[in-house]
A and B are shown apart, each in its own frame.
Chain A
Amino acid sequence: MTQAEGHDPAPAFLSRNEIETLCLKAARGAGMSWGLAEEAGFAAAWLAARGVDGAGALLAHLQNFAPCVIGVHDRQWRATNGTALCPIMLGATLGDHCVLDAGPWSAPITIDAVSQPILLVPFLARGAQICAKPLALTWPGGSFVILANGNVATTALTALSRVDVTTLTLSPASEVAPGTAPGCPMAPLSAATLERLNTLALRTTVPASDTSRRGAGAATSDND
């Protein structure tokens, strides 16, 4: 479950900056390279700013994280080892291809399977803005269009956020309606999500030693 839909006794209201930083560290702690971990932070915070629990989705993905290798054949994108693709690696790669012929803004592509597909949306929205072209996203349970200005209907995001793993088609679209970004508060994190992301983030840290403690401060007293 990516959305904290049940009753959460103590949701955590983090700033966008805090969500981005925490998710970057957690992704790195789970084994992502630094460059992709930055993208994970971007994606989770982008979703949170639109009221979607991106941090929860990222956590769900990180709990079974293994780096993936993308293979592309006849505009079909899949993981070379047959598992579901990492949405951060896939999203970042699709964004990198936004103005290239191989990318989905030129002609439709299919994705065999991707985990936590909601995490693709921030990358596709950024790509849509860069090439100023809308993009249709279709999966067995629904579809929506990401507008050329990067906006997506909140209801569409909510529907996709309930999907754990799916196949997808991405195709050039025509603009459906003028989009405006709805203002909404940052999505809170459930207490459990926060705790687990913090645990992953801690894996990027080094336990203190006497040497490190001594080396970090002033060589003189602070009571002067």
Chain B
Amino acid sequence: MTVSALQCGRASDVAAFRRTPDQVMRLARMGSAHPTRLSFLRQMLRRMQAEAWRFDRPVWQIDAKGVGRAVYRAIGPVRTYSLVAFAHDLPDEMRSDRVIATAWDATFAMFDGDPTVADLDRLQANVPLQEAGRISVRELALSRANRSVRLFGHVVDRLSQGLQPDPAEIASVGYLMRTTAVYGAGKFGAADRALIEDREEVRAPFQIEMLTVWFIRAFCADLVEHLAALKGGAQAALLDPATRRALGVGNSTGLGMAPFLVRHPVLLNNWMMAREEALAQVRAQPLAQPQDVTALHLALRNFCENAALWHSSHPIQIAKLAGLRADLDRIAARLAGWPETGTHPWNALWQWGETALSLEGQEALLALLLEPHGDLIDGLGECMSADEVQSQRIDGAMTIAALRRSLQANYGWALAIDFTDPANTARFWYVSEEKLEPRLGERHLEPGADLEQPLCIARLVQALHAGLKGLDGAGSVAEFLMQQPEHRFALRRVQIMARRPFAEVRDNLIAADMLPIDLMRCKLAFFGASRFDPRSDKWVRISLFQDMPYPEDFNVQIAQ
């Protein structure tokens, strides 16, 4: 049988290789997610390379103290996007990654097009204030970043002396600045998503935010070289290319991000489904081509290098990292004789992993298996955006009987939770009056549970289920909601889930042992984040774009 004949049989076989939502949508597994080639920053870089985007820095007005402004431009085939950066002189005592901060080392806005001097002046009056300022429909994102005090100072010092930074220092921190927020569509006056959603280049999720962060990385590298040159004069050095490339952008984030995946069930479904479909398609491959086997080995080597540099001081992550490193050794050993004779070698490898590896290792194996298969799976990236407006509509014609069936089929996991057990209602999500940010309280110890946010979907769905008791199955959802409007929120979820099996996190989000960092890790992995480093069970640092190209690298490729 020829390869093409085997591949023709592929499509009908994929269903057998899919994981179920019950397997995938568990917090512990989501909290072990790794970036893949479908991650949003990888999608952006692929597009920009394929479309030969050009990049430049038309404005650089930074003084000897590192204060001033700069503009970075991305010039695509249809439109131009410009990051406007403001550099500040921030005293150490004002530096905080928390949302309560009021000043930062640098602040940024993504401008839609080419900003004029008047635009820059307007932004200069607002962007440094972040939440306290206003941006306009000409802007697409607002962000800020703080220095890694240790590494930033070290790099400037060394470069100013004509020396390269200590590789051990670079490896231990990994970034010059970490963003502490990247606000996108419609925030603080910025353009609504609806205004730009028909643009091909930003259709995939978070493309504007990824471009913002990628430019911030370039800005940080430029800034240390600039300050080193001012400090060291003629003897100052530039970062050597390998060191420059090893630098990512840090990101520091807390509970503010955690509810996102719960509040955007359609997006969550589409992200997960695309990734799971990619895995299923790879597993369904009847053969492993020699070049794909080589690519897998290369991907494993890169993964191991990254894992070696991945540090955490948090007990949970330390244990998971140890497990991951052991798993990577197991994968390397398993690959020694792989592929064996027989059909579906990728699936054989996957099935071995499901029995031999920890959750960290299994999800790492997923990322590794996708890596050689760009031609097969990259197109799935186009399925990851969502029309959330349409999905909000309730289908009032649904019968109560159909609703009951849907509940049983998709929310069995939720109906099975015993909410009379205090451990299963131990937490509550709320918004703090002080900063209007999500927080997590202890229900049985703290006041405020009467102001709980509707994030524990399982409990709300149980209440809906109870509300249906005794109703005639022939009745309509429209009638039911007229009588019991308090179930509207949960009912909407059930209807969303009826056609989107990966829309819900299938766990109790108010359980005593729930870890918010699991939600954050899953989202951040979809962004493309690596080196997940929890600072508590509610706070995490990560790195973006580490070991990826810089904008100017793309210009060089075009020139060649």
Contact = CB atoms under 8 A, between A and B. Distances in A.
Given A35-B489, A204-B451, A100 B434 contact: no
Contact of A100 (B187, B476, B487): B476
B254 A35 contact: no
A212 B486 CA distance: 29
A100 B474 CA distance: 13
B397 A218 contact: no
B192 A35 contact: no
Contact of B185 (A17, A89, A207, A215): A17
Nearest to A97: B478
Given A17-B186, A216-B437, A217-B254, A224 B538 contact: no
Chain A, interface residues (CB within 8 Å), range: 35 or more
A219 B536 contact: yes
Interface in A205-224: 205-209, 211-213, 215-220, 222-224
Contact of A96 (B192, B434, B477, B541): B477
Contacts, number: 153
Interface in B469-527: 476-478, 481-482, 485-492
Contact of A208 (B192, B434, B482, B487): B434
B255 interface: yes
Interface stretch (A8-16, A112-120, A137-145, A172-180): A8-16
Given A35-B491, A216-B437, A206 B539 contact: no
A95 B431 contact: no
A96 B189 CA distance: 32
A45 B100 CA distance: 29
Nearest to B486: A33
Interface string B426-454: 00001111111101111000111001001
B96 interface: yes
B325 to A, nearest CB: 23
B489 A34 contact: yes
A220 B392 contact: no
A73 to B, nearest CB: 13
Interface in A36-87: 36, 38-39, 42, 67, 70
Nearest to A21: B186
Contacts of A195: none
B137 interface: yes
A216 B439 contact: yes
Contacts of B243: none
B489 A211 contact: no
A96 B97 contact: no
B97 A218 contact: yes
B149 interface: yes
Contacts of B190: 15
A34 B454 contact: yes
A186 B254 CA distance: 32
A67 B485 CA distance: 10
B176 to A, nearest CB: 13
Nearest to A202: B433
A67 B392 CA distance: 22
Nearest to B477: A96
A178 to B, nearest CB: 22
Interface in A145-195: none
A111 B194 CA distance: 34
Contact of A219 (B97, B488, B539): B539
Contacts of A89: 485
A98 interface: yes
A43 B487 CA distance: 19
A147 B299 CA distance: 56
Interface string A123-138: 0001000100000000
Nearest to B539: A218
A142 to B, nearest CB: 28
A99 B432 contact: no
A126 B396 CA distance: 13
B430 A98 contact: no
Most buried by A among B430, B485, B539: B485
Contacts of B451: 204-206
Interface string B192-205: 11100000000000
5 nearest A-B residue pairs (beta carbon): A35-B488, A17-B186, A96-B396, A35-B489, A206-B448
Interface of B: 92, 95-98, 137, 146, 148-150, 185-194, 252, 254-255, 313, 392-394, 396-397, 430-437, 439-442, 446-448, 451, 454, 476-478, 481-482, 485-492, 535-536, 538-539, 541
20 contacts: A15-B189, A16-B186, A18-B186, A35-B486, A35-B488, A36-B488, A42-B392, A92-B394, A92-B488, A96-B396, A96-B482, A99-B397, A100-B476, A206-B447, A206-B448, A208-B432, A216-B98, A217-B98, A218-B539, A224-B148
